[in-house]
Amino acid sequence: MSTDAATNTGTTAEGARGGAAAEATENGADAAARLGLSRAAYAALHHVSTATLTTQLMGHGLRNTFLAGLTFANPARQRLVGQAFTMRCIPAREDLDVLAVFQDYDHPQRKAVESVGPGDVLVIDARGQRRAASLGHILATRLRVRGAAGIVTDGTVRDMAGMEELDLPVFSAGAAPTTNLAVHHVVDMQLPVACAEVAVYPGDILVGDRDGVVCVPRHLAETVALAALEQERLEDFVLARVEGGSPLRGTYPPDEDTMRDYRAQTDAARAGA
């Protein structure tokens, strides 16, 4: 485990328990409202795939929304939904970024961690640099306890063994044992950043799953979430047809006859509900 901050051997377990308690007490309506979403849209973002979201975003003219090259740390925590809290790094400088700065509780990295709120995703612009970690297990645990929704960095993280068990979605470019000071100097927070070559603005909605992380502009999130849910319902119907032996022509994409059958099935399901 890294020495990112003073701790004791009970920190990890305590962090997991505290984070779970915060999550358990959060009201779904409050969480949705915090993201500026209806409960239906908030629920949809916890269900639809990032693949579907990228298709919907392309329909709005947005092609660069996928944060390429990032993978999850904990296989049990692949689903990520939250609003961006951004932190930007510039290259470290040897006379400023020395180990002694970690004694300062107001160090910009520490201030950022202590400023992240419930439902926030700490998005770190590490310039794609992988030689030193963006942060370690202790700071990630602190974020979990504070109710953060996750961590996304286009750099690396350290203490990967701990990250793999942490009850928090963490997406990164991999692992590196070296402390962030060797490569990174945290310079500001809550300003627009470039993470994995994608523009991320504070308050944007980050969604992650097995395929990776997508950034949804906040003003489009409600519309895109509900449209993505409807797209997946139709695709489930189409997939069942394909599995049943139907050819692609007329099925995928669905022609008028297939759409008529889909609407009939949907209407019947609603009538029986």
Q: Given this model, what pLDDT does residue 23 score?
A: 41
Tokens linked to 104: 């300062």
Residue 90 has pLDDT above 90, yes or no: yes
Contact 180, 88 (CB under 8 A): no
**Per-residue model confidence as pLDDT tens digits over 128-165:** 999 999 999 999 999 999 999 999 999 999 999 999 99
Residue 247 has pLDDT above 50, yes or no: yes
Angstrom distance (rounded) from CA 61 to CA 56: 9
- CATH class, domain 11-218, is alpha beta
**β-strand pairing of 120-125 with 205-209:** unpaired
Contact 118, 148 (CB under 8 A): yes
| Percent above pLDDT 90 for the chain | 86
Mean pLDDT calculated for residue range 105-127: 96
What is the length of the chain? 273
Contact 140, 148 (CB under 8 A): no
Domain ranges of the chain: 11-218, 224-272
Angstrom distance (rounded) from CA 219 to CA 230: 19
Angstrom distance (rounded) from CA 213 to CA 209: 7
Q: Using omega within 30 degrees of 0 as the cis cutoff, is the peptide bond preceding 253 cis?
A: yes
**Per-residue model confidence as pLDDT tens digits over 21-42:** 344 335 678 999 999 999 999 9
End-to-end CA distance of the chain: 52
Tokens linked to 45: 């973002």
Residue 7 has pLDDT above 80, yes or no: no
Strand partners, 213: 208
Tokens linked to 269: 């399901």
The overall average pLDDT reported for the chain is 91
258-264: long-range contacts (C-beta < 8 A, 24 or more apart)? 261/237, 262/234, 262/237
Q: Given this model, what pLDDT does residue 26 score?
A: 52
